[in-house]
Amino acid sequence: MSKQNHQSESPLIRLQKYIADCGITSRRKAEQLITQGLVSVNGHIITILGTKINPATDAILVEGRAITTVSSDKVYVLMHKPRCVMTTVNDPEGRDTVMNYCKQITERIYPVGRLDYLAEGFLLLTNDGEVANWMMHPPANLVKTYQVKVFGAVTEALLERLRHGVKLSDGLIRPQSVRVIEQLQGKTWIEVVFEEGRNRDIRNFFEGVGMTVDKLRHMAVGGLSIEGLAPGNFIIMTKKELLKAIGVDDTGRPLKTMRARLSSKKTINLHKKGAQPATPADYFGFRKFRKDTYFQTVKTMKEQKILDEQEAKAGPRPVREPRS
């Protein structure tokens, strides 16, 4: 092989990196596809991670579909994911997915990370595999802000338990800040900020002190917030805008000390609030509304409501006279 021909060839690249660069999915997910035998190169199924390919000459198929980096512009979409929507490209059960809210975007993008079905809020969709990878597995801690509505009345004692941290199976979770932002009749909105590299199950954090989560909203990462963005809506950003708003460079490392983007709602001082609802937030009876039993509880309540309405419509039953 001549020196000239050698220079004209495309450099070899790891298969999982190439798949991520094509905007198919994140590098971590690409590795899973490879080990599951869902990727082929020149007709041969590849299951060994680290396999290198030549994008100029090799034919790569992912789940039976050919992929290419040609005409694949990088797109960065910040969406306010609605509640009861799947954070997936498609759902085998036919449920609504986040992709249904951005059909006008012609590039193939995918959601970064997961917000569970009952959660709403901050969701990034992109075809930039590198950005997706460090958003899910950041080399440095990312500051994340959540708003959580719990059943019952929150007391200062419960807030202090949250501030001191909750020990779960993967270690102690200690938030950067916790504050009450709205006190409703029978429910309370709390804003909590975490500064950690690991993704956390926020429901488990609150359940660790006996609370039951009614609604969960991921508000912000670093200085980038969805405040003012209605559920189902999105904005398209450049990579530069995205990274600057979050407060990191193009490798995911902080440009400076990252500060949380708190909501514009004022902190409620529970001592000045006056009379609180009678039921405390750690009341055992609220547990039937937790994630594992939520749908069954709601179903049972709806069925009971229908029965009550039918009985009310039918009126009182006639009283039978006793037989003589």
Active site residues: 116
What count of residues does the chain have? 324
Q: What are phi and psi of 166, to 5 degrees?
A: -125, 130
DSSP string, 138-206: -SS-EEEEEEEEEESBPPHHHHHHHHT-EEETTEEE--SEEEEEEE-SSEEEEEEEEEESS---HHHHH
Strands 76-81 and 234-237: antiparallel
Pair 72, 127: CB distance under 8 Å: yes
| Sign for the pseudo-dihedral over CA of 35, 170, 287, 266 | negative
The neighbour count for residue 228, using CB atoms within 10 Å, is 8
Give the Cα separation of 78 and 57 in Å (integer).
35
Give the Cα separation of 14 and 126 in Å (integer).
21
